[in-house]
Structure 1
Amino acid sequence: IRELVDDIVTVSDAELVRAMQFFASRMKAVVEPTGCLAAAAALTGKVDVRGKRVGVILSGGNVDLQLFAKLVLEAA
């Protein structure tokens, strides 16, 4: 990791939930919390993507739908 990784950032649980809510409302996609970590870092500005072409991999719908709905509604 020391040779290949430049930086590690963290996001809060609330920031993850806001990213989940963003994908649910804007793209009608169910993305599990860990599946939107990179996107949450970009959306919060913790990773500077301004003026850059950036690809972010979203993954998984491996989340209980009732819990997902509760989290997304609370974040709205």
Structure 2
Amino acid sequence: QPRASRLVSQGVELGFLRREADPDDARRTLIALTDKGRAITNRFRGAQRENVDQALSTFSEDERAQLASLLTRLADAWPK
């Protein structure tokens, strides 16, 4: 809890996050991305996608299908 609170506070200070009142419960605070935070998130996701595309560039279509199947099995078997 303390670590999460510090991370949120840092995100607010840096302009990546904003705190909002919870309309359903005044005791709670909601955390939302700012436009600046959303832009960084989108760049990160784009970089991740580029890295995955690069890593898979030498895989055949059959290998990609096999990897997708195995990852699906792993996700389905993951303890919840």
TM-score, scaled relative to structure 2: 0.26
Compare the two structures and name the one with the higher strand fraction.
Answer: 2
Compare the two structures and name the one with the higher helix fraction.
Answer: 2
TM-score, scaled relative to structure 1: 0.27
Higher relative contact order (CA 8 A, sep 6+): 1
